[in-house]
Amino acid sequence: MCGIIGYIGTKKASPILINGLLRLEYRGYDSAGISTVEKNGLSIMKDKGRVKNLYNLKGIDDLDGTIGIAHTRWATHGKPSKENSHPHMDNSKSFSVVHNGIIENYNELKNFLKGKGYNFYSQTDTEIVPNLIHYYYSKDSNNDKYRVLRAVQSACKDIKGSYAFEIISKYMPNNMIVVRKDSPLVIGKGDGENYVSSDIPAILSFTKDFYLLNDNEFAFLSKDNIEFFDINLNKIDKKIDSIEWNASAADKNGFEDYMLKEIYEQPSAIRETIGSRLPENEPCNFEDLNFSKEFLSSINKMYIIACGTAMHAGLTGKYVIEQLCNIPVTVDIASEFRYRNPIIDKNTLCIFISQSGETADTIAALKLSKSKGATTLAISNVIGSSITREADYSIYTHAGPEIAVASTKAYTSQVTLLNILAIYFAEVLESTSKDIITKFKKEILELPAKVEEALKCSDDIKDFSKKIYQEKDVFFLGRGVDYNTALEASLKLKEISYIHSDAYAAGELKHGPIALIENDVTVISVITDENLVEKTISNIQEVISRGAKTLVISSLELPSNNIDFVINIPHTSVFLSPIVSIIPFQLLSYFISKEKGLDVDKPRNLAKSVTVE
Ligand code: M6R
């Protein structure tokens, strides 16, 4: 997905911008570019392909400007090409703009500008922006220092859609303007210099002090100062936020890939998620939540809404909340939820899960729920992300930055947090006995050690990956929460190994999917629930008798049978088991992807954070 970097200070901007873009590569992109303010006007250097290609562009070393904007593009309007890459300039080459988001009415605005004599050289929606700013700038006769800002504000009033813009201009050679609506943007404050980025980790090595822009807020930056304005250009004050992550947390730390590093970080990430939320002999402690018994008793229905892996975490959230709190929970895919007419009212609690906090569908679903009167609670890994700013309440997974596109530690932290949240609700509601809760808390505290233990299956999994990496199809089976794990295992395998896979609730096999089972097809099952072990085993026998090759991941003693491979993992209580049982599957996808020589961290066609629909 597109990424943005900006720098304003006293150092040469171009190397800082390119380095920042390199840190954004994990988001996925197809072209990159920078624009700086030079003595003789604005420069633009951009091209299709990798960020490092920018180093080879003729003239890049001659750029001396100390103010600049930069962008990695992930095509939405127009194919990946040099012309469609950002930054974009207006016809008079006075304004340079980078943009994340989508301008919905760009055709209408383009036609308007064409009518005024403007020409267009790209297929992008963004190219209208510098031209629209030029149009309004030319109409303003007041030549004070905010003339460009007023032009930007007028342009924004015309634009429908989502955007984070960075704007530089030859008419304000010591300033930069940024504004956002429904697309992420942060400003990092340095000493005599300031940074802008769509992602905090990209500029974490420069500063830990950030201003988080809200929708429709403008920032007018110089190297020493940042002025903030609301939609009507009234000055506003903003408080600075300090981010705890350190820059090295965002590096690979000696691992070959970010994904592997993040898989191995899970014991510590889960420890961080637990944090001080489970004090001994006391109720669960959620600093940011103060739900009363009266309020929670008024909730007669919950939704958990998310996309991809976060949605799979939500599936386990449903099981545990329903069990401990006796409140019905529906899990919804955000992109489906937002386009139907969900039955929601003030007695509904909607929980949104998003690692990045910037997923467009999840944010839209959140806005919809709010508009229907629900109470909204965001679960995110990124402090100050859009979903946390929209929601009534926010809690954080604290898993540290997740860079690899395939989500691993965010998932296990989300499932951990949902379990703790369920306990919190149950304690407030007094809906589960103290003994059960005490036992459950103890199991949660043991999780990091159990995940550590599960990681020891790495060599066995690596061996197994060598046997199946050339497969065309792999099937995953599970029952109960093990089905949730099967779904997540299948998604992981698809996204980084490009092997077709499907996950089925084991009991569904007979209702159709068993027709796909033939000699030598790989079927991988997960069994962690003692109440369901026999049922799943009989489903496995059904596929064995049709010639399938079988692997079972289990935390239980299995009845002796003719399964080809069994990998044992530590046992834990049923609602926590997806946290432990997903580990071998994450490793399996990783090793298969490596065996196939694929780019584990940046799988094709995928982006880390899906900030457009
Ligand atoms: O940032 P989010 O948690 O909102 O992202 C949701 C999905 O896009 C994400 O989980 C995606 O499915 C991952 N690539 C899965 O590994």
Per-residue pLDDT band for 249 (boundaries 50, 70, 90) equals: low
Are β-strands 67-73 and 3-8 bridged in parallel, bridged antiparallel, or unpaired? antiparallel
Evaluate whether residue 25 is within a structural domain: yes
Instruction: List pLDDT tens digits, range 1-39.
Output: 688 999 999 999 999 999 999 988 866 677 899 999 999
CB 283, CB 427: distance < 8 Å = yes
State whether 546 and 493 are in the same domain. yes
As a whole number, the mean pLDDT across the chain is 93
- Residue 42: exposed, middle, or buried by beta-carbon count in 10 A (0-12, 13-18, 19+)? buried
Residue 221 has pLDDT above 90, yes or no: yes
Report the side by side order of strands in the sheet with 522-527.
500-505, 473-478, 522-527, 549-554, 565-568
Query: At a CB cut-off of 8 Å and minimum separation 6, what does 331 contact?
Result: 303, 304, 305, 306, 311, 314, 315, 317, 318
Rounded Cα gap, residues 520 and 405, in angstroms: 31
Answer whether residue 137 is part of any domain: yes
Is the predicted pLDDT of residue 509 greater than 70, yes or no?
yes
Q: Which helix (H) or strand (E) holds 258?
A: helix 258-264
Instruction: State both tokens at 466.
Output: 């060598």
537 touches 511 (CB < 8 A): no
Distance, in Å, from the CA atom of 455 to the CA atom of 587, rounded to the nearest integer, reads 8
Query: Would 225 be classed as within a structural domain?
Result: yes
Average pLDDT of the residues in 57-64: 90
Please say if the pLDDT value at position 63 is more than 90: yes
Residue nearest to atom 12 of ligand 1 (CA): 308
Contact 609, 361 (CB under 8 A): no
Task: Compute the distance between CA of residue 471 and CA of residue 489 in angstroms, rounded to an integer.
Answer: 16
Looking at the fold, whether 271 and 206 belong to one and the same domain comes out as: no
399 C-alpha vs ligand 1 centroid, how far in Å? 14
- What pLDDT is recorded for position 525? 96
pLDDT for 370 equals 96
| Separation of alpha carbons 80 and 439, rounded Å | 55
Give residue 252's pLDDT.
Answer: 73
In a domain, 601, yes or no: no
| Same domain? 333 vs 467 | no
Pocket test for ligand 1, best of 27, 199, 307 (most atoms within 8 A of CB): 307
Q: Specify the pTM.
A: 0.75
pLDDT score recorded for residue 280:
85
**DSSP secondary structure letter of residue 126:** T
- Provide mean pLDDT across the span 400-414: 94
How many whole angstroms separate alpha carbon 116 and alpha carbon 110?
Answer: 10
Residue of 100, 82, 98, 103 whose CA lies nearest to 31? 82
Residue with tokens 């400003």: 187
Residues 436 and 474 in one domain: no
CB 499 within 8 A of CB 465: no
What confidence score (pLDDT) does residue 348 get? 98
| Mean pLDDT confidence for 338-354 | 95
Summarize the confidence of residues 440-469 as an average pLDDT.
96
Question: Ligand 1 mean position to 405 CA, how many Å?
Answer: 8
Same structural domain for residues 69 and 217? yes
Q: Which of 408, 426, 445 is the last residue before a domain boundary?
A: 445
- Which residue's CA lies nearest to atom 4 of ligand 1? 354
Residue 303's region, left for phi above 0, alpha for psi from -120 to 50, else beta, is beta
Are 437 and 460 found together in one domain? no
| Residues 6 or more apart in contact with residue 17 via CB below 8 angstroms | 5, 6, 7, 34, 36, 68, 69, 70
Ligand 1, atom 8, lies closest to the CA of 308
Provide the pLDDT for residue 174: 97
Q: Give 218 Cα–ligand 1 centroid separation in angstroms.
A: 29
**235 close to 278: Cβ distance less than 8 angstroms:** no
From 2, 284, 307, 457, active-site residue = 2
Give the position of tokens 């949605």: 311
Q: Quick one: pLDDT at residue 604?
A: 87
Please state the atom number of ligand 1 nearest to the C-alpha of residue 610.
8
Cis peptide before 87 (omega within 30 of 0): yes
Where is the domain boundary, 220, 246, 272? 246
Do 440 and 465 lie in one domain? The reply is no
Question: Could you tell me which residue, 379 or 24, shows the higher pLDDT?
Answer: 379
Do 120 and 114 contact (CB within 8 A), yes or no? Answer: yes
Shared domain for 133 and 223, answered yes or no, is: yes
- On whether residue 45 sits in a domain, the answer given is yes
**Mean local confidence (pLDDT), 410-419:** 98
pLDDT of residue 464: 95
pLDDT at 607: 80
**End-to-end CA gap in the chain:** 11
**pLDDT for residue 301 is more than 90:** yes
pLDDT (0 to 100) of residue 218: 98
Q: Using the mean position of ligand 1's atoms as its centre, give its distance from the Cα of residue 308 in Å.
A: 5
CA distance 201 to 248: 10
Quick one: tokens of 521? 């097809």
User: Which residue range is the domain that position 165 belongs to?
Assistant: 3-246
In terms of residues, how long is the chain?
Answer: 613
- Answer whether residue 613 is part of any domain: no
Residues 193-219, mean pLDDT to the nearest whole number: 91
CATH number of 331's domain: 3.40.50.10490
Do 100 and 200 lie in one domain? The reply is yes
Q: Residue 429's pLDDT band (boundaries 50, 70, 90)?
A: very high
The answer to whether position 610 is within a domain reads no
Looking at the fold, whether 52 and 154 belong to one and the same domain comes out as yes
CB atoms within 10 A of CB 85: 28
Statement: residue 435 has pLDDT above 90: yes
| Cα 608 to ligand 1 centre (Å) | 7
The residues, any chain, with a CB within 8 Å of residue 146's CB and separated by 6 or more, are 220, 233
As a whole number of angstroms, the distance between CA 558 and CA 552 comes to 10
- Verify whether residue 284 is a known catalytic residue: no
Q: Can you give the pLDDT at residue 246?
A: 64
Q: What pLDDT does 400 receive?
A: 83
* Residue position matching structure tokens 């954004």: 24
> Do 339 and 276 lie in a common domain?
yes
| Same domain as 499, residue 401 | no
Residue 319: pLDDT band with limits 50, 70, 90? very high
Tally of domains in the chain: 3
Query: Which residues surround ligand 1 with Cβ inside 6 Å?
Result: 307-310, 354-356, 359, 362, 405-407, 491, 495, 609-610
What is the 474 CA–ligand 1 centroid distance (Å)? 21
Q: Ligand 1 pocket test: pick from 332, 337, 407, 484 the residue with the most ligand atoms within 8 Å of its Cβ.
A: 407
- Mean pLDDT over 278-289 rounds to 86
Nearest to 386 by CA among 368, 353, 363, 414: 363
Q: How far apart are CA 10 and CA 7, in angstroms?
A: 9
The answer to whether residue 605 is domain-embedded is no
Alpha-carbon gap, residue 70 to 408, rounded angstroms: 29
Give me the pLDDT at residue 103, please.
Answer: 87
Q: Which of 216, 246, 276 is where one domain is finished?
A: 246
Q: Whose CA is nearest to atom 11 of ligand 1?
A: 308
Instruction: Report the atom number in ligand 1 closest to the C-alpha of 408.
Output: 16
The Cα 392–Cα 289 span in angstroms is 10
Q: What is the pLDDT of residues 87-128, one digit of tens each?
A: 999 999 999 999 988 788 889 999 999 999 999 999 999 999
Number of the ligand 1 atom closest to the C-alpha atom of 306: 4
Q: Summarize pLDDT for 139-174 with one digit per residue, the tens.
A: 999 999 999 999 999 999 999 988 999 999 999 999
3-state percent breakdown (helix, strand, coil) of the chain, nearest 5: 40, 20, 40
SS3 per residue for 425-473: HHHHHCCCCHHHHHHHHHHHHCHHHHHHHHHHHHHHHHHHHHHHCCCCE
Query: How far apart are the C-alpha atoms of 568 and 586, rounded to whole Å?
Result: 15
Q: Quick check: is 608 catalytic?
A: yes
pLDDT for 236 equals: 97
Percent of the chain with pLDDT over 90: 75
Q: Facing residues of 303 across strands?
A: 330, 350
pLDDT of residue 250: 63
How sure is the predictor about 398, in pLDDT bands with cuts at 50, 70 and 90?
A: confident
**pLDDT 10s digits, 416-427:** 999 999 999 999
